[in-house]
Chain A
Amino acid sequence: MWIIPLTVVLPLLGAAALAVAGSITPRRWGDAVALLMAALCCGFCLYLCRASAGHELTYWFGGWRPRHFPTTGLVPTHLQAIGIAFDVDPIGAALAALGSLLVCAAVLFGWSYFDSVGVQFQVLLLAFLAATCGFCLTGDLFNLFVFFELMSVSAFALCGYKVEEKGPLQGAMNFAVTNTAGAVFILTGIALIYARTGALNMAQVGAQLRANLAVQPRPGALVLAAFALIACGFAVKAAVVPFHFWLADAHAVAPTPICILFSGVMVELGLYGIVRVYWSCFADALTPERQRLRSLLLGAAVLTALLGALMAWLQSHLKRLLAFSTISHMGLMLMGVALLTPRGLAATALYVLGHGAVKGSLFLGAGIVLHRLRGVDVARLHGRGRPLVWTGAVFALGGLALAGLPPFATATGDDQLSHALNQLHLGGLWLVSLIAAAVTGGAVLRSYLRLFWGFGKPSPAAAHQEKEEPETKPGRIPAVMFAPYAGLLLLGIALTFWPGLPEGALHAAQQFTSSASYRTQLLRQSPPLPQPLSTPGPQEPWRGVLSAGLALALATLSVRFSSLRGRDWGRPFHRLHSGHVGDYVSWLVLGVGVFAGLLLWLPH
C-alpha cells in the first residue's frame, strides 16, 4: 500500500519546499500548496478509511517485516516485529481525514483573514498535518510519541504565532510547558513498558503482555504504572480535568484558524492516544482491572463535562467560552471511551466527527466577529453585531447544534452514547451529557442574543463604548471566509445523512477493540474468533430536542436575569484558572498522583 506513507511524506515535502522557496514566491502560492497537500491527505485518508474496513492495512518501512527469532526468550513460535510499521484502521484514518479537512478549512479561512502572514504559518500547518496523520496511522509506540511531539511543537508555535503580544506569549508558554511535562510522563511510561516486554510495536507489546498473564494472572504494579503514566500524559493533551487548564489559555490567544484545529482534532488526538494504547497494548493485561479503570475514567469524564460546562457558562470572551465548551464536550467523548466497549467507542467516534464540524464552524464565526468588530468580548461588543445578520444566523444554528439538536451530527453521537451507557446499565449518566450539552449550547446562544441582537442590559464598559466611533471594518465579508464557516456547519448536517455512518462507526469500533484480530493481521498469530457485527441503536430525536430546548431556555433566562451569568458566584472558579503555569503543573502532578494511586491501590 504505497498510499499509507504518502499521508505523512507529502505534507512534510510541501513544508520543506515552502520553507526553502516560500520567501521568494508570492504569498498565495504558500496558501495554494498547503491547501493542495491538505486536500490530497484528506482524500488519501478517506480512501484508507474505506479500504481498511474489516482488516487493518500495514506498511512496514524499509521492508523490515516481522521475522522468527528462535533464540530469543520472547513469545515462542510467533513472529517478532522489529521494524516500524504504519497500521491503518478505519477509526485512525477517519480521524486523520477530519484533521486534513480542518486544515483545509483553516487555510481557506486564513486566505483573507490575515492581513500579513509569513510563509512559516503554512509550513507549521503542514508539519502539524503530517504529525496528525502519522500519529493516527502509526503502529509503533515510540513512533507514536515522536509524532505526538512533532504535532505538539508545531501547535505551540502556531499558538504563539502573534508573539509580539502579551496574551499569545502567556498562552503558548502555558500550553508548551504543561504539554511537555505530559510528554515526559508518556515517554516514561513507554520506557517502562519496553523494559517489561522488550518491544515497541504495539501488537507485539500486546502479545507479550498477554503471554505474561500466564505467569502472573493480575497485572503487576509496573504495568499499571506504565499505563497510568501514558494515559495521564495523553489526558493532558485531551484536556481532561484536572489537566485542562492550558486549553482555554491556548484557544483564547491562538489565531482563529488554528483554534479550529486545536478544538476540532488536536484535543481528540489525545483521547485517540489513550484509546489506541489501551486497546492495542493493554486491553488483555488490564482485563482484571477493567471495572476499576472504567469507574476512574467515568469519574474523570463526568468531572470534565460538568466543570467545562460551568466555566463556559461563566465566560463572556467568545473564544474562551468555546474553548471551555470543548473541554465539556471532551468529557462526553471520554465518557464514551471510558465504557471500554465497542459501542462506547463508536459513539465517541461519531461525536468527534460531529463536534469537529460544529465547533470548527463556531470558532470561525468568532473569527469573523473578531475580524469585523475588532474584539470577541461579548460584554464589550454588546449589540454591535447587528449588521452581521448571516454570520449571526449561522452562529445561532451552531449553538443549537452544540446543544445536540437533530439533524446535526452531534445528536447522532449523543444518541449512540446513551445506548452505550444503557448497555452497561449506566443510563443515568446520560443526564450529565444533557446538562453539558444544554449549558454549553445555552452559553453560545446567550452570546448570540447579546452580541447580534443587543438583548439584555449592556455592561457599563459597552455603554461607554457606544459613545465612541464604532470601529467596524467596512465592506462585505469575503466569500472565502464565509464559505468554510457555513460549509463546516453544513458538513455537521451532512454527516447525519451519510448513509451507513453509524453502522460503519460501530463496525470500525468492533474492529478497533478486537486486539486479537489486530495481532493476527500483524504477527500471524492464531486466527481470531469471527465476531457478529452489531447494529447501532435507533435514533431518538427527543433527546436532542430536549437539550436544545433547555439551552434556549437557559439563554433567554440569563439574558433577562443578568445575575444568572455568574459575575458574583463564579469568582472562585475564575480564580481557580489562575493563568499561572506553576499552578497548572501542580494540578497535573496531583492528577497523575491520584489516578495512578487509585489505579494501583483502590480496593476491589
Chain B
Amino acid sequence: MLNIFCYSIAAWVLLIGLYGVVTSRNLIHLVLCLSVMETSTYVLLTLIGYRVGGTAPVFADIPVGTKAVDPVVQALMLTDVVVEATVMALLLALAVQAHKRTGSLDPHDLRALQG
C-alpha cells in the first residue's frame, strides 16, 4: 500500500509539471515546470532503488552481504541531474533573450511562426 502511494507521488509530480508547462504564460515559469516534470524521474529512480532496511551503498567498511540500496539508480539520477542542468541553463538563456527582444516573457508574445 505504502509502495503504491510512493509511486503515485512520482506520477503526481510528473502530471503537475505537465499541467504547468501546458498552461504557462511565463517562460521562466514554463522552464521551471519542465524542471518539476524531470524531478518526477528522480523520485521514481530513488524509489526503484530503495530496499527496506538497506544502508547507503558505500561498501568501504561494511561487512560483505550487508543489505544496501541500489547504487545504480543513484548513479543514473546524478547523471540525469547533470543532463537536466544543461537543458535548464540553455532554456533559461533563451528566456532571457526572449525578454531582451520582445520585452515580455509571455510565450504568446513570441509569435513569429505559425501555420
Contact = CB atoms under 8 A, between A and B. Distances in A.
A181 B72 CA distance: 23
A578 B86 CA distance: 28
Interface string A8-29: 0000000000000000000000
B21 A149 contact: no
A170 B38 CA distance: 22
A205 B84 CA distance: 25
Contacts of B38: 180, 184
Contact of A181 (B34, B45, B83, B102): B34
A169 B18 contact: no
Interface in A231-249: 248-249
Interface string A168-202: 01111110110011001001100110110000100
A187 B80 CA distance: 9
A172 B48 CA distance: 34
What secondary structure prevails in chain B residues at the interface with A?
Answer: helix
A149 B87 CA distance: 9
Interface string B1-30: 000000000000010001001111001001
A149 B48 contact: no
B80 to A, nearest CB: 6
Interface in A242-260: 248-249, 252-253
A195 B22 contact: no
Given A160-B94, A169-B94, A580-B108, A191 B87 contact: no
B45 A582 contact: no
A527 to B, nearest CB: 30
Contacts of A314: 115
Contacts of A200: 72
A586 B97 CA distance: 25
Interface in A298-356: 314-315
A579 B114 contact: yes
Contacts of B86: 149, 153
Contacts of B72: 194, 200
Contacts of A192: 44
B56 interface: no
Most buried by A among B21, B27, B41, B73: B21
Contacts of B76: 142, 191, 194
Contacts of B44: 188, 191-192
* Contact count band on B: 35 or more
Given A167-B112, A253-B113, A181 B73 contact: no
Contacts of B41: 184, 187-188, 191
Given A169-B110, A171-B113, A589-B18, A582 B90 contact: no
B66 interface: no
Contacts of A163: 94, 97
A177 to B, nearest CB: 6
A422 B10 CA distance: 45
Given A187-B41, A191-B45, A173 B87 contact: no
B114 A188 contact: no
Contact of B113 (A146, A187, A249, A585): A249
A568 interface: no
B79 A146 contact: yes
Given A173-B94, A173-B110, A191-B44, 8 more contacts: A146-B79, A149-B87, A166-B101, A170-B113, A177-B30, A574-B115, A579-B112, A582-B22
Interface of A: 142, 146, 149-150, 152-153, 156-157, 160, 163-167, 169-174, 176-177, 180-181, 184, 187-188, 191-192, 194-195, 200, 248-249, 252-253, 314-315, 573-575, 577-582, 585-586, 589
